[in-house]
Structure 1
Amino acid sequence: MMYWDGGWAWMAFMPLLWIALIGLIVWAAVRLTQHQSGRDQGRDHGQPPRETPEEILDRRYASGEIDADTYTEARERLAKNRPRPR
């Protein structure tokens, strides 16, 4: 008489379980490191880095949205109100 308790099924299933578990750990580690490096570069979820106020002003002047007097005045105002490093 043959004894059936499913032991051979568990022996076949356990390596697959370990491979899946190790794969999940590797995937999580890669995902976390990519997320951290993206945050360090000023990007979040594939978004480009934010423009500084000076870059926005330069872009608006270059596209002709503002004239030279407005540009100069805004640049001076930005330079005066810029936070100083401690």
Structure 2
Amino acid sequence: MMWPYWYGGSFGVWGWVLMLVHAVLWVGIVALGVYLVARALRHSGMGPAPERVETPLEILRRRYAAGEISSEDYQRMKEELKHD
């Protein structure tokens, strides 16, 4: 009896090779998709916000508002910061 396909109805070795190539191709497509989504989220501002660093004047104002330094110390330090 003659089969209508190669190798008696199977693809032989080429079937395994093509399945492996197909699997690697799909893994690559999924990995590329994950990379592109992660990159888009990182650059769109939807990711975590970068930590903001307080300026010396903001630190001084916060300390004065919290009562850590007196009015005289605040004025003196403020003038020193302006000259730097």
**TM-score for the superposition, normalised by structure 1:** 0.58
The 3 A distance-change label for structure 1 pair 50 and 17 is same
The 3 A distance-change label for structure 1 pair 78 and 23 is farther
- 1:84 aligned residue: none
Higher alpha-carbon Rg:
2
Name the Cα RMSD after superposition: 2.8
- 2:73 aligned residue: 70
Percent identical residues = 27
Gaps of 5+ in 2: 1-6
Q: Distance in 2 between matches of 1:14 and 1:27?
A: 20
Paired residue type of 2:81: L
Q: Distance in 2 between matches of 1:76 and 1:26?
A: 55
- 1:18 aligned residue: 25
Offset of 1:27 from its aligned partner?
4.0
- 1:80 aligned residue: 83
Q: What number of residue pairs does the alignment pair up?
A: 71
- 2:64 aligned residue: 61
Deviates more, 1:14-23 or 1:56-65: 14-23
The 3 A distance-change label for structure 1 pair 75 and 23 is farther
Q: Tell me which of 9, 16, 23 is aligned to 2:16.
A: 9
SS at 1:50's partner residue?
coil
**TM-score for the superposition, normalised by structure 2:** 0.60
